[in-house]
Amino acid sequence: MASEISYDLIVIGAGPGGYVAAIRAAQLGMKVACVEKDRALGGTCLNVGCIPSKALLESSELYAQAKDKLKDHGVQLSGLALDLKKCMERKDQVVAQLTGGVASLFKKNKIDHVLGQAQLNADRSVTVRQSKEETTLRAKHVILATGSRPIEIPGVAVDGKSVVDSTGALALSQVPKKLIVIGGGYIGLELGSVYLRWGSQVTVLEALDRIVPAMDLEVGKAFQRVLQKQGMQFQLSTKVKGAAVKKDGTVDVTVEDASGKAATLNADVVLVAVGRRPNTEGLGLDKAGVKVDERGRIAVDEKFRTSLPGVYAIGDVIAGPMLAHKAMEEGVAVAENLAGQAGHVNYDAIPSVVYTWPEVASVGLTEEQLKEKGVEYKAFKFPFLAVGKAIAMGEKEGWVKLLADKKTDRLLGAHILGARASDLIAELVLAIEFKASAEDVARTCHAHPTLSEGVKEAALGLGSGTIHA
């Protein structure tokens, strides 16, 4: 039986964009429903993305430390063994704790989780289908936050066993002897690192002549060298033509190099990680009159308004980096705008992090982007090799690279390759948000001994000169 219920706001999708928008809107006094087809809240990030992959990255890094690094600290180990089942169970517990946390936050903020598949109608009502039940919800405003899903390659069928996407790679029951990763981006390098640490022979096939294409080129090249030193193999400028699962369960992957030369590689498992596409199908966008852009993303203006009045879109379904924290910022901005406040997102100050070891973290512009824009800039790199804490930790790999305007000294970009880069980038995000100069960072007192002294020294290097190198 169809029923009608009215809200101030309906959010479709309970990923980081959607659930954060719902919570902020409820905090601002709105009556909110969040339609989510899965029982577990949190979307891709919490269920099959950021969180489970970070749990496995942590477990595998600890294993790698026990295997390779602890002896340098005088810790002798014998009988080291991997209990993969335990790692996977721990990952599932981490996911359950966090998705349960979102459910508690919904309860606390009196947000209704409406279970089912949502479809938007031209009158802005939302039809929710669950099994044979159909409900129609009405609201003053609707936010579309349906996220994205992995792109598939023609000729490479994901079967969830021998050929997996990121979801499958988070739940393998065995460590493959040979793992082929198609795509040298965030997912490929993070999940490739997990299995490399656990003993897989990992080969990354990348269509372009570089890994992580959006990254500062110098950082990207150094990052690749670091991963190669750890044993990860790369075949760049390599196009995948197809994959066939053989009788023995292994997979033959046919590739073509830049000169058109074909070859066949074999692996126990193939991970397809060539990007993600927005989830717009089945939402009724066409019929409702919500326009999409040339790349299938929902078109929005600077206030996240779609072409249908009262309907907004955020996160992976719109343009911009497909990052959970970008979606969260957008969710807050829309909720605040709906409450009459001045919500906005500063896209110049969105950090990006690859959670390998060492990590890579960036904010702002790359050297290539500065050159393309014709900006006169200065650059400085300070190595962790000259940072006391890094030496004490035995984490001397990498550097902090800062880019600033040549005339005004304003910080324009920061790129860190090194231990705990994900934490170190935060002060540089703040600096860029506050339009700080390199001198502002250089004159800020940084605790000694910390890795953050590498940031201060890099900033000093752009001005009056470094102390420790």
**Helices 421-433 and 453-461, axial angle in degrees (round to 10):** 50
When asked if residue 147 is in the footprint of ligand NAD (CB under 6 A), the reply is no
The Cα 234–Cα 226 span in angstroms is 12
314, 353, 404, 460: which one binds ligand NAD (CB under 6 A): 353
The Cα 357–Cα 126 span in angstroms is 44
Nearest residue to ligand NAD on Cβ basis: 185
62, 96, 122, 208: which one binds ligand NAD (CB under 6 A): 208
Window of 79-87, 222-230, 349-357, 397-405 that interacts with ligand NAD by CB under 6 A:
349-357
When asked if residue 321 is in the footprint of ligand NAD (CB under 6 A), the reply is yes
The Cα 226–Cα 189 span in angstroms is 12
Q: What sign for the dihedral angle of Cα 365, 370, 376, 379?
A: positive
Q: Which is nearer to ligand NAD, 145 or 459 (CB)?
A: 145
Residues that bind ligand NAD (rule: CB under 6 A) add up to a total of: 27
Site string for ligand NAD, 182-201 (x = CB under 6 A): xxxxxxx-x-----------
**Upstream peptide bond of 213 is cis (omega within 30 degrees of 0):** no
Strand partners, 5: 137
377 DSSP assignment: E
Q: Which is nearer to ligand NAD, 182 or 431 (CB)?
A: 182
36, 206, 216, 330: which one binds ligand NAD (CB under 6 A): 206
When asked if residue 421 is in the footprint of ligand NAD (CB under 6 A), the reply is no
When asked if residue 213 is in the footprint of ligand NAD (CB under 6 A), the reply is yes
**Catalytic-role residue among 73, 141, 446, 448:** 448
Window of 68-76, 217-225, 353-361, 447-455 that interacts with ligand NAD by CB under 6 A:
353-361
By CB under 6 A, the residues from 227 to 286 that bind ligand NAD are: 239-240, 273-276
Minimum CB distance to ligand NAD, residue 239 (Å): 6
Tokens 């002897």 belong to 177
126, 354, 404, 431: which one binds ligand NAD (CB under 6 A): 354
The Cα 287–Cα 157 span in angstroms is 31
344 noted as active-site residue: no
Q: Which is nearer to ligand NAD, 150 or 461 (CB)?
A: 150
When asked if residue 62 is in the footprint of ligand NAD (CB under 6 A), the reply is no
Q: What sign for the dihedral angle of Cα 276, 360, 49, 321?
A: negative
Residues 437-456: b if buried by 16+ CB within 10 A, e if exposed: bbbebbeeebeeebbbbbbb
Q: Which is nearer to ligand NAD, 276 or 401 (CB)?
A: 276
Q: Which is nearer to ligand NAD, 114 or 273 (CB)?
A: 273
**What are the C-alpha distances in Å from 322 to residues 36, 210, 315, 352, 365?**
19, 20, 7, 10, 17
The number of beta carbons lying within 10 Å of the beta carbon of residue 133 is 12
Q: What sign for the dihedral angle of Cα 381, 386, 392, 396?
A: positive
292 DSSP assignment: B
When asked if residue 395 is in the footprint of ligand NAD (CB under 6 A), the reply is no
Minimum CB distance to ligand NAD, residue 228 (Å): 16
Structure tokens at 327: 């979606």
**Catalytic amino acids?**
448
**Site of interaction with ligand NAD (CB under 6 A):** 153, 182-188, 190, 205-208, 213, 239-240, 273-276, 321-323, 352-355
